[in-house]
Amino acid sequence: MARTVIVKDTLKDMAGALTPAERLLSDTLLRDYPMAGLQSITKLAEAAGVSTPTVIRLARKLGFDGFPEMQAALREEASAQIKKPILKREGWPQGRKDSPAFRNFAEAVFDNLNQTIERLDPATFDALAKVLADTRRSIFLLGGRITRSNADYFFNHLQIVRPGVTLLSQSPNVWPQYLIDMGPRSVLVIFDIRRYEADLARLASLAKERGVVIVLFTDQWGSPISQSADHVINALVEVPSSWDSTLGINLIVEALIAAIQTRRQEKARDRIEELEDMFRSTRIFRK
């Protein structure tokens, strides 16, 4: 196989032909691409929860002689990415003077956004927009200690463009009151980045048992919920701070809001206009 072939493109093209174990391995590779494939075959197998022969079989199925040749291709891709100009260099105004702390943080965020966009699978995005725009489904949202603001932001916009949207309380004690209304026509959107929260994983597990569609927004390493989620969005979050940045997550959230509104078109517009009429007629919280 020519080394110009992009491994991730081949993985996506062959997704339908992979065994369950190979799909687990493929998901692990794509979640932290291409870095996941640059570790040893043993560590890669452990990370995916599969055997080392599965790694070898997947490499051969992709057209390589074995894992070393596939890893060499990944290494070349990583090298090319490092050399490629990125937005943070092209977009920074010439001669601008900033605090070094601000600039370092901003450059890290630009890098996160670039790589989040690069890793986003268009098919996953389109499938997710379709699910969330389907008003036959009820949508429930919840975030963790850091990501609750992301869930709240998504909720505020979704409830404007479509009905049947619920933001769960932050208290796990009352989650059963939401679970009882969830079923196969429900979608549970969870935001979970490191340090991953056990309560969220337990909620996802209980919802899955009820046939709920699980949507996960997580970081580049992937929350444990990734193993059972139906749709997973990975965004880079690491910045020079004691806290992770969720700007990459919100980029995808805002793009989804736009896509959902486009899918609903006239119905969304009518709903927004009716809501504005209600505000005008009631003057709620307005002088």
Residue 39: domain span = 7-83
Long-range contacts: 111-114, Cβ < 8 Å, 24+? 111/86, 111/236, 112/235, 112/236, 112/237, 112/238, 112/239, 112/245, 112/247, 112/248, 113/87, 113/236, 113/247, 113/248, 113/251, 114/86, 114/87, 114/88
Would you say residue 186 has pLDDT above 90?
yes
Q: Give a yes or no: residue 281 inside a domain.
A: no
70-81 average pLDDT score: 77
- Give the C-alpha separation, 40 to 157, whole Å: 44
Q: Looking at 56, 83, 110, which one is the last position of a domain?
A: 83
137 & 218 share domain? yes
Would you say residue 83 has pLDDT above 60?
no
Q: Give a yes or no: residue 214 inside a domain.
A: yes
Q: Give a yes or no: residue 134 inside a domain.
A: yes
Would you say residue 147 has pLDDT above 80?
yes
Q: Which of 177, 249, 252, 262 is nearest to 220 (CA)?
A: 249
Report the amino acid identity of residue 126: D
Q: How many domains does the chain have?
A: 2
How would residue 79 be classed by pLDDT, with cut points 50, 70 and 90?
low
Q: Looking at 68, 83, 98, which one is the last position of a domain?
A: 83
With a pLDDT cut of 90, the percent of the chain lying above it is 48
197 & 264 share domain? yes
User: What is the pLDDT at residue 8?
Assistant: 81
What is the model's pTM?
A: 0.68
172 & 229 share domain? yes
Would you say residue 68 has pLDDT above 70?
yes
127 & 51 share domain? no
Q: Give a yes or no: residue 1 inside a domain.
A: no
Digit-coded pLDDT (tens) for 153-165: 999 999 988 999 9
259 & 171 share domain? yes
CATH of the domain at 30: 1.10.10.10
96-100 average pLDDT score: 76
User: What is the pLDDT at residue 285?
Assistant: 57
First to last CA, the chain: 69
Would you say residue 200 has pLDDT above 90?
yes
